Amino acid sequence: GRGADVVYDPVGGDAYTASTKCIAFEGRIVVVGFAGGTVPAPALNHVLVKNYSVLGLHWGLYARQDPAAVRACHAELTRLAAAGAVKPLVSERLPLAAAADAVQRVADGTTTGRLVVVPARDGAPRP
């Protein structure tokens, strides 16, 4: 009932606007990209009234500016996933033969969650 502490927004546009409506007092909206095609113009009066932060995250820049941070984040995310604390939405598992189609669907923005391409072992897809 108090709102989201952190919103990860790779979409922009209407998704960003919706984020501003559900963000908690002193929450953070992390802008990662604009997959929706529209770059939002934040209403800074709203940021002030609800006292939240808007942060930009250019992940690729970290590889160049602070590669140790990339390694540390990868290690921590791997640990959290192994502990079951992070559970990414995997909407579909596809055989390697469908990889090109999967990549195109991601590029077209028609997927939800992650698509996992599973290499075959002994002619059968792995679970």
- Give tens-digit pLDDT for 66-89: 999 999 999 999 999 899 998 888
Close Cβ partners of 69 (under 8 Å, ≥ 6 residues apart): 62
For residues 74 and 18, state if they share a domain: yes
Confidence of residue 123 (pLDDT cuts 50, 70, 90): low
Can you give the pTM of this predicted structure? 0.66
Domain that holds residue 97: 90-125
For residues 58 and 105, state if they share a domain: no
For residues 67 and 98, state if they share a domain: no
For residues 77 and 107, state if they share a domain: no
For residues 12 and 61, state if they share a domain: yes
Domain total of the chain: 2
